[in-house]
A and B are shown apart, each in its own frame.
Chain A
């Protein structure tokens, strides 16, 4: 009766029954009344609305706030799987940090001919203002949210490194909170590793990166573009959870060579600024002169070593998808080890042979802009119409170096709770890593994004994806 499934499902076995990490959960689930679960699902949505866990969608009415749909079937990861993942992430984070330091200093990796010089020097994410600047503690990538996909029992791939300003950690925390409220009994039956320490760890990790100029307890603040930003909820959520001020550009100014925030009692110095504002908007004097979101002169304070900016300016270059294609070599160059986590094979369209292959096989590939994020500006070949393929081919021919292409991966699925019962949907995983001179801390869990449409591979919340709570089991 059972036909072979086209994708690896993380819960359901081909034959009856569940994969090992889901055995306990499966027993619990079998005993549940679907009507009760539907009710719980509605309660969760009301809870999200009431607490204001929403995001704004660009291009829509400014007042428009949307919920990211939450699915109540958890994504469960075995401890054994997690250990491998977290080792692999740690290795990548160390390598990326070393790579960033190198390309802004001696550029050994370019001299060794491992990464082409053009890819760095002609890259708009490469900031000349950072050349020769060493961030406090030598840390560039304070917070990293590595996107990982799975295609089989032991096949994990890194899709993107997200070393710039990864978002979504608030959903990791709130999804768990929601599950704890809805199904407390589950957590007494199944030992799930907690995620709730993340805000405390984040604050500590940031404080450990304070500049040398800071004597005493470092003052940490989060810089947000403001309430209309799509991730504003997360910014205020993190500030609240960490117990630090949430500031905007117009709350800040340079006072005696330091960055200070305007308080009811006068200006007060900030030592560590966790900024959720892109490089380009950070400092109108040094970057985009029209920016209203940043702080004029902050780069000068930074270069003088009087503030820590997390993540460091210029980090974005490591998110470049053409750089990504060199990541296995980068890892080996800086760590002397083979990459623990695999890269997805990537065609650089800047290379003529690759471009030809990509154009010939467009319908089977996923094509992305090298600087893109959030699922915007990408083509999913198998899901595209003839016209879309033709239009995209024109774009490729016009600016080949702006694109990379990857094979369409057969992403793993995890069931969602649908009207007709469990329905497999594609997922990805974004764990969050914190880096300070004292070490790397990776929260056991992360954000699982799920494509709610049957067959869809696009999990981005801006494109109709949802989220799940992610469980890493205790050993």
Chain B
């Protein structure tokens, strides 16, 4: 496979994942902004920080108003991570790697692009927002479904998996990074109403509020939430789960190509780190530290993969 094609597949699915994550962040932000107990502006600010676009936003607007933030995240072409930009980018990459996609996957991404560009042509009113966010999630799910149902389990598939898992890991880690203080056991108002809202928001931003409750009926403690988000091997957005997918896909590639590359060493190191930690040791060493390191390692792994598999010449 061409290095360019591997890169195109990786980015296509990374960008689709990003658009879905952004939709989810907006949804959680929108919900918490509706509750009177919090300060909506600070909530929107942390949404922007999590999405990694605060600098760009601050350069354009001077207040954290829901309408501006939502517009910037959904529709702004200047924002490279806006849903519109991500969908455009995903589709452009899909065109570039058209020969590596099945017709079903190509048509799914092309239709997503056509529909979402249409839906996001005008600013989205509050009343329409839930439907639009749902539409975004439905379309990305459609592409993913077509991929799982029709693509060969070969190197092309491995690169899509790595793209998705890296983006997802990065997203979950950023959510924890921005809200880590609410997860610290030392927080003075443990169990207060404010904390409950904050925890709820975190879980909602990774679509885990229901599954968490199913697994931890009584124990809504910060340690349990952190453990769930970081180490739970059943939750498909946990750091551990994502890094395992990356490791697995890279093992397939190594086997397929008959060669082990520097990126394989890096992912092994990260996996080792995760395996040796419990949530207690993470708290002991410092949650913030752990997360910062994880984000950094993930970035480095991504870059090494790009280089080892010759995404660009």
Binding site for B on A (CB under 8 A): 49-52, 63, 227, 232, 236-237, 239-240, 245-248, 250-251, 253, 261-266
**Which residues 91-107 of B have a CB within 8 angstroms of A?**
92, 95-96, 98-99, 103, 106-107
Bound Cα distance A52, B92 (Å): 12
Q: Which residues of B contact A248 (CB under 8 A)?
A: 4
Bound Cα distance A52, B109 (Å): 10
Per a CB cutoff under 8 Å, which of A52, A232, A246, A265 touches B106? A52
**Which residues 245-296 of B have a CB within 8 angstroms of A?**
253, 257, 259
CB-CB under 8 A for A50 and B110, given A251-B313, A262-B4 = yes
Q: Which residues of A contact B253 (CB under 8 A)?
A: 264
**Cβ-defined contact, A240 with B3, below 8 A:** no
Q: Which residues of B contact A264 (CB under 8 A)?
A: 1-3, 6, 155, 253, 257, 309-310
A–B pairs, 9, beta carbons within 8 Å: A51-B107, A52-B106, A236-B95, A236-B99, A245-B99, A251-B313, A264-B2, A264-B257, A264-B309
Q: Which residues of A contact B103 (CB under 8 A)?
A: 51
Bound Cα distance A262, B111 (Å): 31
**Cβ-defined contact, A250 with B313, below 8 A:** yes
**Cβ-defined contact, B98 with A236, below 8 A:** yes
Q: Does B187 contact A (CB under 8 A)?
A: no
Q: Does B114 contact A (CB under 8 A)?
A: yes
**Cβ-defined contact, B111 with A227, below 8 A:** no
Per a CB cutoff under 8 Å, which of A240, A251, A266 touches B99? A240
CB-CB under 8 A for A239 and B99, given A251-B313, A262-B4 = yes
The 9 A-B pairs of least Cβ separation, nearest first, read: A236-B98, A264-B309, A240-B99, A262-B3, A239-B99, A264-B6, A227-B95, A52-B110, A265-B257
Q: Do most interface residues of chain A lie in helix, strand or loop, or is the interface mixed?
A: mixed
Bound Cα distance A239, B100 (Å): 10
**Cβ-defined contact, A253 with B313, below 8 A:** yes
Which partner residue on chain A sits nearest B93 by CB separation? Answer: A227
**Cβ-defined contact, A50 with B111, below 8 A:** yes
CB-CB under 8 A for A262 and B310, given A236-B98, A240-B98, A245-B2 = yes
**Cβ-defined contact, A247 with B313, below 8 A:** no
**Cβ-defined contact, A227 with B110, below 8 A:** no
**Cβ-defined contact, B98 with A262, below 8 A:** no
Q: Which residues of B contact A239 (CB under 8 A)?
A: 98-99
**Cβ-defined contact, B106 with A251, below 8 A:** no
Per a CB cutoff under 8 Å, which of B5, B95, B114 touches A49? B114
Q: Which residues of B contact A237 (CB under 8 A)?
A: 98
Bound Cα distance A261, B1 (Å): 9
CB-CB under 8 A for A51 and B313, given A261-B2, A262-B2, A264-B3 = no
Bound Cα distance A399, B95 (Å): 42
Q: Which residues of B contact A251 (CB under 8 A)?
A: 2-4, 313
Most buried by A among B3, B6, B107: B3
Q: Which residues of A contact B99 (CB under 8 A)?
A: 236, 239-240, 245-246
Which partner residue on chain B sits nearest A241 by CB separation? Answer: B99
Bound Cα distance A247, B3 (Å): 10
Q: Which residues of A contact B110 (CB under 8 A)?
A: 49-52
Per a CB cutoff under 8 Å, which of B3, B5, B96, B106 touches A227? B96
State how many angstroms separate the Cβ of B151 from the closest Cβ of chain A. Answer: 14
State how many angstroms separate the Cβ of B36 from the closest Cβ of chain A. Answer: 43
Q: Which residues of B contact A52 (CB under 8 A)?
A: 95, 98, 106-107, 110
Bound Cα distance A161, B6 (Å): 39
Most buried by B among A52, A63, A227, A264: A264
Most buried by A among B2, B5, B6, B111: B2
State how many angstroms separate the Cβ of A245 from the closest Cβ of chain B. Answer: 6
**Cβ-defined contact, B95 with A263, below 8 A:** no
Bound Cα distance A188, B101 (Å): 32
Most buried by A among B6, B96, B99, B309: B99
With A52-B110, A251-B3, A263-B3 given, can you name 5 additional A-B contacts, CB distance below 8 Å? Answer: A49-B114, A51-B106, A245-B99, A261-B2, A264-B155
**Cβ-defined contact, A263 with B1, below 8 A:** yes
Q: Which residues of B contact A227 (CB under 8 A)?
A: 92, 95-96
Q: Which residues of A contact B92 (CB under 8 A)?
A: 227
Per a CB cutoff under 8 Å, which of A50, A63, A236, A247 touches B2? A247
State how many angstroms separate the Cβ of A270 from the closest Cβ of chain B. Answer: 11
State how many angstroms separate the Cβ of B73 from the closest Cβ of chain A. Answer: 21
Q: Which residues of A contact B4 (CB under 8 A)?
A: 247-248, 250-251, 262
Q: Which residues of A contact B259 (CB under 8 A)?
A: 265
Bound Cα distance A247, B259 (Å): 24
Bound Cα distance A239, B4 (Å): 15
State how many angstroms separate the Cβ of B2 from the closest Cβ of chain A. Answer: 6
Per a CB cutoff under 8 Å, which of A50, A236, A245, A247 touches B107? A50
**Which residues 19-58 of B have a CB within 8 angstroms of A?**
none
Bound Cα distance A264, B103 (Å): 23
Bound Cα distance A248, B155 (Å): 21
Q: Which residues of A contact B5 (CB under 8 A)?
A: 245
State how many angstroms separate the Cβ of B169 from the closest Cβ of chain A. Answer: 22
Bound Cα distance A38, B114 (Å): 23
Bound Cα distance A248, B98 (Å): 14
Which partner residue on chain B sits nearest A266 by CB separation? Answer: B310
State how many angstroms separate the Cβ of B253 from the closest Cβ of chain A. Answer: 8
Which partner residue on chain B sits nearest A240 by CB separation? Answer: B99
Q: A-facing mask of B185-219, CB < 8 A → 1, else 0?
A: 00000000000000000000000000000000000
State how many angstroms separate the Cβ of B121 from the closest Cβ of chain A. Answer: 13
Bound Cα distance A240, B1 (Å): 13
Which partner residue on chain A sits nearest B92 by CB separation? Answer: A227
Bound Cα distance A63, B88 (Å): 10
Which partner residue on chain B sits nearest A253 by CB separation? Answer: B313
Bound Cα distance A236, B5 (Å): 12
Most buried by B among A51, A236, A253, A263: A263
Bound Cα distance A442, B287 (Å): 69
Bound Cα distance A264, B307 (Å): 10
State how many angstroms separate the Cβ of B69 from the closest Cβ of chain A. Answer: 26
Which partner residue on chain A sits nearest B311 by CB separation? Answer: A264
Q: Which residues of B contact A232 (CB under 8 A)?
A: 95
Q: Which residues of A contact B96 (CB under 8 A)?
A: 227
Bound Cα distance A263, B107 (Å): 26
Bound Cα distance A236, B107 (Å): 14
Bound Cα distance A49, B113 (Å): 11
Bound Cα distance A343, B3 (Å): 47
Most buried by B among A52, A245, A246, A248: A52
Q: Which residues of B contact A51 (CB under 8 A)?
A: 103, 106-107, 110
Which partner residue on chain B sits nearest A250 by CB separation? Answer: B313
Q: Which residues of A contact B88 (CB under 8 A)?
A: 63
State how many angstroms separate the Cβ of B147 from the closest Cβ of chain A. Answer: 17
